[in-house]
Chain A
Amino acid sequence: MKSDEVFDVLIAGGGLAGLSLALALDSAGFKVAVIDKLPPVEMLEEKYDGRSSAIAYANMRMLEVLGIKDKLLEFGEIKEILVCDGKVKDGAQKGGARGFTLHFDEAEISDSEPLGYMIENRHTRLALDKAASLRENITRITGQSYITHRELGDIVEVEISDGRKLQAKLLVGCDGRGSKVRNNAGIKTNKFGYNQTGIVTTVKLEKPHNSVAYEYFLPSGPFAILPLPENRASIVWCEPHAKAQTIVKQSKEFIEAELQKRFGDILGKVEICAPVFAYPLSMELAADWYRPRVALCGDAAHGIHPVAGQGFNLGLKDVAALAEVLINSRDVGLDIGDEIVLEEYAKWRRTDTMMVALACDAFVRLFSNDFAPLRLIRNIGIGVVDNISPMRKFFCRHAGGDVGDLPKLLRGEELV
């Protein structure tokens, strides 16, 4: 790297959002650098991130256009989603829960695409890393952290941990929930917790899951079984903090027994085959999306409750919208770091993000309790959704990310 080099876009954070953005911008001829404190190989280890993400079908189209899909070693498909509102004992009944009250399947939306996909985050990272390493024009600055930045007229100067100062027209903070870029830019967040911790692990199932995702709304919090390849499933199990902390300290056999209670016997014997992680659940939304020469993208802009699997999906939608706005703006001679351009991006993403965040929040609040009148209302509500086909279709398309004014990448189109 020459010391006087000015990048078009500097990306702080080489995670899912950061590398997807780098790939999208590189394919449009932008000069991009990605700063990441971890060398790529460490991020691929299972202990770094035990989570899996549901990828909406519109977002999978995007991963395909960016050359990421064919680098994925494996991914699961979700062909059906069964939603059940029940107590633990209901789930343990023979033949499954007390009846799945809500049912979505792929035939509702199209013949060819599943409702969504399940990918373990470490596989996504590996695929992104492979795809990015094939692009010789993407500069990877690994093992270094973003320290601070300042705006200098038509450029932003970014200081990294080895003392180097890099220059770009735009800095994008893809540095996750605790975003330093966001803090240094003086963008506040609105944060609130749920007194819930998500216990996350992967299990091996005895009976075939047939690509069905199960979502139980138990009084203590949502419990989801998400199909992975090799007849495994990713588990997201929400419990109050204290209880969750107690659970994760128990033996593998104890946790398996607790899981088995919630699974019932529809999937046979359940065996834990990965480390058990605990993530406190909270919602944290940035008050703004940009400052002059600085934009936020992914979790840096919005950390939401994982109940509907929308976190990574929202991040990919940010990437698609930001890349398209930057390309279109550059092509008409606008300054890509200018607030005028960044406002276009914010306008595109603001409403959608708020809607998804509020919906996820309402979902959790509505379902995570055992108050009888609410239980009745939600049973009626679920019954209504399930009985009206267009409404169900709407929910499927929404979960699939296929609504609104979609950026090109989410329609599966090339950017240039």
Chain B
Amino acid sequence: MTDTKINSVNDDEIAKFAAMAEDWWNPNGKFKPLHKFNPTRLAFIRDNVKRHFGIDDNSQPLKGLKLLDVGCGGGLLSEPMARMGANVTAIDATEKNIKTASVHRDKMGLEIDYRFTTAEELLKTHKGAFDVVLNMEVIEHVNNPKEFLQTSLQLLSPNGIMFIATINRTPKARALALFAAENILRWLPPGTHDYDKLVTPNEIMDALSIEKSLKITGPIGVSYNPLFDKWSLGNDTSMNYMVVAER
């Protein structure tokens, strides 16, 4: 494990991060939209990885695969991926997220290599090291999405599969996904997202076009049905969407 192991932190710090972990893992807390959406995107990732690698095993479908979770936050994706058998490395540019995720990982008795670092830094030691790279709800928070995606591609193994999920830069997304989620539904703290930093599907395609042989699927729309309080996948990419890139 890395230098972020929690025994290097004092007790007050651990208590603080344990409280934050409670926040991250509270189904009715401030990360409620991620929890609601999680089963849908987890199944999407699992099914695509199984198809890509021709996997038949249902009990541990990701067994033996090296997976990188970029911008892992409290570990909401990393933990299920580890339970499905993946060998998970998870990075976040915010140190408190890494500490929070580590506290929760230990409580759950899982093995996940959490690192306080960036994709660019990791590339120095892990070029082409990951069978699966997850960029879920993260490119809207980086300074240069194009460079970031190209760095992510370099972390991917020669036969790997990469997932990208984000919010589209449309007036509708601004009105609904951002304003409603942050201010009306109180799903996310106000100011979580910056409209100008949102990325369109075309911008993602452009960044990925650096590698001509990539097989691109998407954009696949992700929409929320308030009547049934459920997320589903479909054609409407005007708000949340996902893209899959395969080698």
Residues in chain A within 8 A of chain B (CB atoms): 29, 153-154, 328-329, 331-335, 338-340, 343-344, 347, 405
One of B23-31, B140-148, B160-168 contacting the partner: B23-31
Residues of B within 8 A of A334 (CB): 38-39, 42, 80, 83
> How many whole Å from B59's CB to the nearest CB in chain A?
8
Q: Say whether chain B's binding surface is mostly helix, strand, loop, or mixed.
A: helix
| B82 contacts the other chain (CB 8 A) | yes
Contact A332 B46 (CB under 8 A): yes
Contact B42 A333 (CB under 8 A): yes
Structural contact, A333 and B84, CB atoms closer than 8 A: yes
Interface string of B207-235 (1 = CB under 8 A from A): 00000000000000000000011000000
Are A347 and B229 CB-contacts (below 8 A) given A154-B109, A332-B43, A334-B38? yes
Q: Which residues of A contact B79 (CB under 8 A)?
A: 333, 335
Give, as a whole number of angstroms, the nearest-CB distance from A228 to chain B. 39
A257 to B91 CA separation, bound complex (whole angstroms): 79
Chain B nearest CB: distance from A326 CB in Å?
Answer: 12
Q: A333-B83, A334-B80 are in contact. Are A340 and B38 (CB under 8 A)?
A: yes
Q: Which residue numbers of B lie inside 8 Å of A, CB to CB?
A: 25-28, 35, 38-39, 42-43, 46, 58-59, 62, 79-84, 107-109, 228-229
Residues of A within 8 A of B62 (CB): 333
| Interface contact B229-A328, CB-CB below 8 Å | no
Q: Which 5 pairs, one residue from A and one from B, show the smallest C-beta to C-beta distance? A: A333-B80, A332-B42, A333-B83, A333-B84, A343-B27
Q: Quick one: closest A residue to B40, CB to CB?
A: A332
With A154-B108, A344-B39 known, 20 other A-B pairs at CB within 8 A are: A29-B59, A153-B108, A328-B39, A331-B58, A332-B42, A333-B42, A333-B80, A333-B81, A333-B82, A334-B80, A334-B83, A335-B79, A335-B108, A338-B25, A339-B26, A339-B27, A340-B35, A340-B38, A343-B35, A405-B228
Closest to A335 in B: B108
- Which has the most chain B C-beta neighbours within 10 Å: A333, A343, A405? A333
CA gap between A165 and B119 in the complex, in Å: 46
Q: Chain B: which residue is nearest A292 at the CB level?
A: B25
- A and B contact pairs by CB, cutoff 8 A, 28 listed: A29-B59, A154-B107, A154-B108, A329-B39, A331-B46, A331-B58, A332-B38, A332-B42, A332-B43, A332-B46, A332-B80, A333-B79, A333-B82, A333-B83, A334-B38, A334-B42, A334-B80, A335-B79, A335-B83, A335-B108, A339-B25, A339-B26, A339-B27, A340-B25, A340-B27, A340-B38, A343-B27, A344-B39
